[in-house]
A and B are shown apart, each in its own frame.
Chain A
Amino acid sequence: MSDFPFLVAMIAVPAVGAAVVAALPRARDALARQVALGVGLLVLLLAVLAAVAFDTGGERFQLTTSVAWIPDFGVDFALGVDGIALVMLLLIGVLVPVVIGASWEEGARGPGEGAEERPMRYFFAWLLLLEACMVGVFAATDVFLFYVFFEAMLVPMYFLIGSFGGPRRQYAAVKFFLYSLVGGLVMLAAVIGLYVVSSSELGEGTFAFDALRQLDIDPGVQKLLFLGFFVAFAIKAPLVPLHTWLPDSAAEAPIGGAVLLVGVLDKVGTFGFLRYCLPLFPDASRFFAPLVLTLAVIGVLYAALLAMGQSDMKRLVAYTSISHFGFIALGIFAFTTEAATGAVLYMVNHGLATGLLFVVVGMLIARGGSRQIGDYGGVAAQAPKLAGVFLLAGLASLALPGTNSFVSEFLVLIGAFPERPVFTILATAGIVLAALYILLMYQRTMHGPARGVVAPPAGGGGPVDGGLPTAGEAEGAGEVTDAGEVAGAGATAVLTAPAATARRFPDLSARELAVVAPLAVLIVVLGVQPQFLLDIIEPAVTATLSDLGATR
């Protein structure tokens, strides 16, 4: 069983699937999503089987495949997973089918723009290609191969944002691509530097991770190479002050793209810290740890404050992610097994919680046609299931005990405290802020009187509380709100639907329930019983930290 090349299959299946979907004739556009969903589920199955075949007590890298690729550069097509990469592959496997389900109507009409044709098959083809690249990034055990997937990943995401995104998608797509490319190119210089160091030490240059981590690199050189990798990962993760591309990209990306962008793509940054920065450059990692921790804590607090100030729901969720990435970086650079294990678990949990939050926000936006929090109110009365899932996602995001994020956040903080008490205490304040930004958004959109794009319930149509204003009053209130919006912020006027288009909010459909159900279940299950993931993660984290020379 474990001889089966799971990792190769997990790259090949979506890549071939992407080609098939893209080659569908225009008339069969609708078939694309069925094919894509099938491919997504197949990859999920492969990921689960790979996890079953993975021996938690076995070697560090398992399911390995290695074929010489470019002998002149010493590059191998080498794949393999440790526990950290494996849980990320599981996350990818879960999120992609969910995203495909959530994007079921994506081709039919994009948010904010009507006339333009957006062929569904291309959307799903880019999505599957992105999946292939993401699997490759986490599964590569050759630094060159990692770099290739790292950069190649940009292209599908670029087209997802640029072709299927919101009104400012061109700007967002280019900003996303350039930020990542700058980081990637700096890393390229460091990758080559690493190769040259290896060829001077070993006599023959190599990119194999296992050989590279045994090098004894001069501390000065280590610092330079560390910075090269670090910049790329810090842009990707993103750490303050390199984060400004994320809110733009996540806000303009289609919901499916945003989930994968924040849920998986950005994890490449934190994954890179753990996989490459710490084991390859131990001295430099220790040297720069205070700097990274400072950035991480600033990120936790600053992004949380910015999140509270957002009026655009997608941007708000993007900022919450930046805040959470601060926690992950804190866990990684505290150099304790507990904190780092917590950080890896956090990477998974954040993908699930924020993924669900993005999906639900997307469903809300699909109904209301606006991203502004101020355009919504009283949704809960009309769509109780939607509100319920929204609340669950929000609570998971703010790490309420009983949800998955609590376990990981707690592990990070408790693990980091003995080593870095000051940073940990400061970061703890982020938890309080998280409660504020999530609950404020929930309260404004879901409760109170119907307003903005939410049509007041028709007489007798729904359960009308005695406290609710009458229909006439509510309409008047809505007009006032809209007038205020238009006068106050001219720029958002485009997004603000006039009162005339206020519409009924149907509750979640069966499809939508099926989309959110897996994530909701996972959030609760992992909140109560995270042990099986921790069993996978912990040996890999211990091995990583032993490369670093940290004993605790």
Chain B
Amino acid sequence: MAVDRTTVAHIAKLARIRIDAEQQDALTADLNNILSWIEQLSELDTEGVAPMTSVVEMRLPQRPDAVTDGNCRDKILRNAPETMHGFFVVPKVVE
């Protein structure tokens, strides 16, 4: 399944990555190269095979639904590019 520049632009939009016009051509070529290579999986018959869901056979552990961490607002905010009054600051969302 070949992808064109428009599809690459659409995927980049979905992935929230800005791509320059000149990057777009190179990426389209790269993606087509990689996709046609992984295409070889289609020659395998996987009818009736259940997709792998767990790497090592194990039952997922359960724990009580209790608060075990938190109360460290300032520690968390310390790495933020911009903060105000104990909040993360982002560009205006609502006019």
Q: Do A and B bind each other?
A: no
Residues of B within 8 A of A (CB): none
Residues of A within 8 A of B (CB): none
